[in-house]
A and B are shown apart, each in its own frame.
Chain A
């Protein structure tokens, strides 16, 4: 007699054990420590913090280790942890103008107050594999180089004014906040589901957590004719910013720490509307750590999602906030795609039954036709 398949429990336990073994790899090789990941794979850590939306390099590094280096899985781990954390309070708005700058570039002005500061970047490296990194011994030399660079970096860079504010003095660019946004307390999309149309603050929150690859591709498309974007990188700055909080019992802000941030402001053309003369408009990106690609993509998409408020036509997906915001989250996207691996026996059975029925009906119809035709043929 047929016995129904059992064994789900055991299969799960075995799968977990196998995964743990695979994650560890060859036990003859030293185990990677969380601190090593944090120190030596910082860009991976930054991405996990951004999309995991928690600023905690140690936990992000732990998540990367636990996820065998899979960024999306690590982001998911961090998110699932984040959701259980209590909300103690909301910080004061960060003052990025007071950033301790480590890197700052502008694509719009050759020189400007505060200067261009290249800082640490892969931008001008030749993408040639450095085989010296293959040999462990070479690591020593690299350390020395890093130290000497470090001492130069240590030169304090004064806080410098934002590039776009220079344009604003002439009124050539819109204000970074519209007058009606001045006193707005932004919503929190981790507490309240997004309701469309979403305001800019919520859109930016969503983009900051959004999948880097998704935003990168969409912003790319917006500059390739699937959009009307002709942007300039007004300013990109990376550095540390103080976080302040106003505890209820004190009533004034106190410093609670520092975060490393990348901020990008894009400048876009605007042809003007009946109320407004032509001027430049802005797109804004702000992310944790050194995440320039993400910050730029975010700023470009922020601008393309503003097309409705600026009276421009919505023609492409990157201008359509329902499209962008509801598909930007890698945790959601990954969950939905991966759920196809779950059993769908019942729905599939229903489809099977339906297809069989439709096929047999169409056969019946055809043979029915033949049946009525045949006597005529004989007659």
Chain B
């Protein structure tokens, strides 16, 4: 542990953690509301998960077991880097198994295995403001949230339906939390949106660059925006996973040769491995 000498448990000092926990509590109390917090510089760049890391650092304890995924996989470089960071600075146990983890920090996916009430999932958020691309000014978006003025967002969906016949937003699909605040679910595919609705686990969101924390408490309603006559729907694949055969999980496309041949595999590596193990068991 020579490299972390001189640093506190999980890197951040206790005062900072307390400040972040207060922001989290406020976020839990007002589901979907973006709480400004005194975001710190982290030893990773903004946009690489510093918001999620600050949240994780503030809620992690010595008994926790941490799973970190990026694009659904535990072995992507950024997931490895963040998992190592906490293994080194907090000395906590890490795991790749969704069911074994008490904390899951994620970038861009929600695990396929349903989460339970004793787990916390922490999302890394690049742009916390769902209205940002409609209205770049924070002074204005704050008012829009305060007054629940979300018509402009609906305009975007209208344009999609008018042009394509259906809503064409495929990830970072805006949601309405607890029938009150519009929220960015972070850039997860819209495939994962339904998992957020009434999820038993506590969902925390950290945006390092924007210095915002927000939360969805367990069992809270999370609705994806839509029209009455054009309801929200998720992606579907014709193919199944080339490894585990799953026909119901989010699939990544893998190009296998120079001719552009491709196969599809589960983006959630733990889920995929779990299915393979389960199918092999009876034969042993």
Contact = CB atoms under 8 A, between A and B. Distances in A.
A and B associate in one complex:
yes
Contacts of A351: 170-171
B70 interface: yes
Interface stretch (A192-200, A233-241, A287-295): A192-200
A193 B211 contact: yes
Chain A interface extent, by class:
35 or more
Interface in A141-200: 190-193, 195-197
Contact of A350 (B84, B164, B170): B170
A82 B172 CA distance: 33
A3 B265 CA distance: 9
Interface string A310-343: 0000000000001000100001101111110011
A326 B211 CA distance: 11
Contacts of B136: 322
Nearest to B79: A8
B267 A349 contact: yes
B77 A8 contact: yes
Contact of B267 (A334, A342, A346): A346
Given A2-B243, A8-B75, A335-B209, A193 B36 contact: yes
A353 B168 CA distance: 10
B7 interface: yes
Given A12-B77, A82-B41, A195-B36, A346 B209 contact: no
A336 B48 CA distance: 8
B38 A192 contact: yes
A277 interface: no
B170 A353 contact: yes
B68 to A, nearest CB: 11
A76 interface: yes
A20 interface: no
A84 B7 contact: yes
B38 A193 contact: yes
Contacts of B109: 346
Nearest to A73: B45
A264 B108 CA distance: 46
A9 interface: yes
Contacts of A192: 36, 38
B270 to A, nearest CB: 11
Contacts of B7: 84
A91 interface: no
Given A80-B43, A343-B71, A343-B78, A196 B139 contact: yes
Nearest to B70: A343
Contacts of A353: 170, 235, 237
A78 B75 CA distance: 29
A4 B263 CA distance: 11
B204 interface: no
B249 to A, nearest CB: 12
Interface in A82-96: 82-84, 86
Contacts of A195: 36
B248 interface: no
A223 to B, nearest CB: 25
A7 B250 CA distance: 22
B256 interface: yes
Contact of B251 (A12, A334, A338, A349): A349
Contacts of B22: none
Given A196-B139, A336-B46, A84 B170 contact: no
Given A193-B212, A339-B126, 19 more contacts: A1-B243, A4-B269, A4-B272, A6-B75, A12-B77, A76-B41, A82-B41, A83-B40, A190-B38, A331-B45, A331-B46, A334-B45, A335-B48, A338-B48, A343-B70, A345-B252, A346-B109, A346-B188, A358-B168
8 contacts: A2-B254, A7-B75, A193-B37, A196-B137, A336-B209, A344-B71, A346-B71, A347-B187
